[in-house]
């Protein structure tokens, strides 16, 4: 069964990891993955550096996930800086190593770039290209419950998401959104606009003050009152912050599950110990040895 089919049958559960930099060893991430597999995730996704930076490491990690036989690898893939020919070569390479799930993205522009400097300007063009040339892939598309930072209105952003669905997206993976009410409002707007794909909700664990604020700001994501309280009360004490952040993340997962979501995707930040605490406390999955 592919991931979209799983999500139509029951709530999927998954993790995201990112590849280490070229000059860093891969073993710590492989160890993290071994721990994450114990939760029997339906899939593990691996990020891809827009502009192709570190693409080799992404392939190495996707292959390691595939070769583990433990779960489905989903590669992220961006069209920034990529020509059609290069995209064809890279996609064929994924298929050759047994990776047939992809999150098709435009990508964030590297510093100093204007435009994609590639053959595609937006993710919908990449989705269409994959659907035509590589129909073997199950394709995820990105959605922003708080609207993509560059877009002027929700209506426009949602109509762009609809185009990605119509071009062949199989399911939606969301940007981090701490505000579950906002997510539910957005999901209703998607339904009104004819978007019927299952939605996999991305949850960013709250573990340290500065990254929590930085990621919210860079993704245009709001900080609701209960998270602001954690930041205000524990922001100067990293240990207490992490404890309160883990509690906060667990509560957020409960709220999402009560909202009846199709999938829950935890951005692991490559930290299995903290993530295991969150998964165990929220009772989503039991750890298997």
Active site residues: 16
Measured in degrees and rounded to the nearest 5, phi and psi for residue 263 equal -160, 150
- By CB under 6 A, is residue 76 in contact with ligand FAD? yes
In the 8-state DSSP scheme, what is residue 43?
E
Shortest distance (Å) from residue 18 CB to ligand FAD: 8
**Could you tell me where the DSSP H helices lie in the chain?**
3-9, 27-37, 55-68, 84-96, 123-133, 154-167, 180-192, 209-219, 225-234, 238-258, 272-282
Which C-beta is closer to ligand FAD: that of 58 or that of 242? 58
Identify the residue among 14, 78, 252, 270 touching ligand FAD (CB under 6 A). Answer: 78
Which is nearest to 47 in space by CA: 162, 151, 140?
140
Which C-beta is closer to ligand FAD: that of 170 or that of 230? 170
Identify the residue among 57, 66, 148, 242 touching ligand FAD (CB under 6 A). Answer: 148
Shortest distance (Å) from residue 237 CB to ligand FAD: 31
Identify the residue among 198, 202, 245, 263 touching ligand FAD (CB under 6 A). Answer: 202
- Identify residues 84-103 at the interface with ligand FAD (CB under 6 A): 103
CA 93 – CA 31 distance, rounded (Å): 25
Contact 139, 131 (CB under 8 A): yes
Interface segment toward ligand FAD; rule CB under 6 A; list 46-54, 232-240, 241-249, 253-261: 46-54
Q: Which residues, at least 6 apart from 232, have a Cβ–Cβ distance to it below 8 Å?
A: none
Q: Which residues, at least 6 apart from 114, have a Cβ–Cβ distance to it below 8 Å?
A: none
- By CB under 6 A, is residue 118 in contact with ligand FAD? no
Which C-beta is closer to ligand FAD: that of 63 or that of 148? 148
Question: Which residues contact ligand FAD (rule: CB under 6 A)?
Answer: 47-48, 50, 76, 78, 103, 105-108, 122-124, 142, 148, 150-151, 156-157, 160, 164, 173-175, 202
């Amino acid at each position: 069964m592919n991931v979209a089919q799983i999500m139509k049958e029951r709530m999927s559960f998954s993790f995201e990891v990112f590849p280490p930099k070229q000059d860093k060893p891969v073993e710590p991430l492989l160890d993290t993955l071994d721990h994450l597999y114990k939760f029997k995730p339906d899939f593990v996704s691996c990020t891809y550096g827009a502009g192709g930076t570190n693409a080799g490491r992404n392939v190495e990690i996707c292959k390691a996930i595939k070769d583990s036989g433990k779960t489905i690898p989903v590669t992220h893939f961006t069209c920034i800086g990529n020509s059609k020919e290069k995209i064809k070569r890279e996609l064929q390479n994924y298929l050759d190593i047994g990776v047939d799930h992809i999150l098709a993205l435009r990508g964030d522009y590297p510093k100093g770039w204007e435009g994609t400097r590639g053959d595609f300007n937006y993710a919908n063009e990449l989705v269409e290209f994959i659907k035509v040339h590589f129909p073997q892939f199950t394709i995820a598309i990105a959605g922003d419950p708080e609207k993509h930072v560059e877009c002027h209105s929700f209506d426009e952003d949602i109509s762009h998401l609809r185009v990605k669905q119509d071009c062949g997206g199989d399911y939606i993976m969301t940007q981090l959104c701490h505000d579950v009410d906002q997510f539910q409002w957005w999901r209703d707007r998607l339904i009104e606009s004819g978007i019927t794909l299952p939605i996999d909700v991305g949850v960013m664990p709250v573990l340290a003050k500065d990254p929590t604020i930085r990621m919210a700001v860079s993704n245009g994501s709001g900080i609701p009152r209960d998270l602001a309280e954690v930041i205000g009360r524990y922001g100067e004490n990293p240990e207490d912050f992490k404890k309160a952040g883990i509690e906060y993340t667990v509560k957020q997962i409960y709220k999402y599950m009560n909202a009846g979501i199709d999938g829950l995707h935890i951005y692991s930040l490559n930290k299995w110990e903290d993530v295991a605490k969150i998964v165990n406390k929220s009772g989503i999955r039991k750890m298997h040895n």
